[in-house]
Amino acid sequence: MPKQAYSLLRPECQTSSVVFASPHSGCDYPEWFLRRTLLNAQTIRSSEDAYVDKLFAAAPEFGAPFLVAEAPRAFLDLNRAADELDPALIRGVRRPVNNPRVASGLGVIPRVVAHGRPIYHGKMALDEANRRIDAYWRPYHARLQSLLDETRAGFGRAILIDCHSMPHEALDTMVRAGAKRPEVVLGDRFGASAETDIVDEIEAAFASAGFEVSRNAPFAGAYVTQHYGRPARKQHAIQIEIDRSLYMNEDTIEPRSDFEAVRARLASVIRDIIAIGMPRQSLAAE
C-alpha cells in the first residue's frame, strides 16, 4: 500500500478562505501493484496528473493550505464517490444505474488508464476495494472537509481549488477552426458549485498571467466539485484543468525544459486567487 493517504502543506498563517487540493498527482506506486498490473511502470502513470503538486506548491507561501494525495489515481480515484464501484472489475458488485464513469472503467477503483488500457487481468475481491477506500479515500476526504470547515469558521466562507491536468488531445474536438485553444479549463458545474463572481475572478487571474481560459467544456467537474460545492452554505468548489503539454512531455512524463517558467507564471495566478479569499480589511492594508 502507499505509505500514507495524503500530505498537508500548511502556511505559517492562513490568510485566506482559499484551500487548494490535488487528488490525482500521487505517484507512490507499491511494488506489488506494479507487479500485478498488465501495464509497464510508465504506462500506468498515463492517468496521473503528474507534477500538479509541484505546479501549485507555492500556495502555502501565499497563505493557503494545500492538500496533496499520495495514492496514485490508477490505484484509487479520489475524484469519485466511494460507492462508484465497477462490477466489471470488482466481484460481488451490482451494476450501477446510468453511471458513465463506472461504465467506462473509471470508477473509484479504476479498471483502465488513458485510452481505455486495462490495468488488471481478471477481477478483484470487494474486500480489497474496500480496504483501499478505507485506507486512502476516507482519510483524504475527511481531512479535506475538516480543512473547509476550519476555513469557513475562520473566514466566513471556504473556496476549494481542485487542481488537475488534462491531456492536450482532450480539447481536439472542442476547438473551432481559427479559435484560440484553451490552456486552462475552469469547472464549476455550470454555476452550481461556486458563485459566478468568484469564478470570474479566478478566470481573470489566469488571463492576466497570459493563459487562455474556458469554462466547463469538456470538464465541468466531477465528484469533488459536485460534493463540496455548496454556495448556499458559503462553501465553493472550482476545478482547474491545465494542459499538460504546457509543462511536460506527455509521452515520457518528464518536465519540459521551461517547467520552472510555467511554475513561476502559475505562482502569480495562485497569489491572485488567494487574494480573492482575503478579508477586505487585509487587502486594504496592503
Amino acid at 161: I
Residue ranges of domains in the chain, CATH in brackets: 6-285 (3.40.630.40)
Residue with cell 520552472: 260
Dump pLDDT digits (tens) for 208-251: 999 999 999 889 999 999 999 999 999 999 999 999 999 999 99
Distance in angstroms (rounded) separating the CA atoms of residues 240 and 59 = 14
pLDDT at 134 over 80: yes
Q: Which residues contact 51 (CB under 8 A, 6 or more apart)?
A: 25, 165, 247, 248, 255, 259
Which residue, 155, 164, 181, is CA-closest to 279? Answer: 155
pLDDT at 177 over 70: no
Give residue 285's pLDDT band: very low, low, confident or very high (50, 70, 90). Answer: very low
pLDDT at 184 over 50: yes
Dump pLDDT digits (tens) for 23-69: 999 999 999 999 999 999 999 999 999 999 999 999 999 999 999 99
Distance in angstroms (rounded) separating the CA atoms of residues 192 and 225 = 9
Distance in angstroms (rounded) separating the CA atoms of residues 107 and 85 = 6
Dihedral angle over CA of 169, 175, 177, 182, nearest 10: -90
- Tell me what percent of the chain is helix, strand and coil, each rounded to the nearest 5: 40, 15, 45
Q: What angle do CA 6, 273, 212 make, to 5 degrees?
A: 100
For residue 14, what pLDDT is reported?
98
What Cα–Cα distance (Å) separates residue 237 from each residue in 106, 182, 230? 22, 21, 8
Give residue 175's pLDDT band: very low, low, confident or very high (50, 70, 90). Answer: low
The reply to whether the predicted model has a pTM over 0.85 is yes
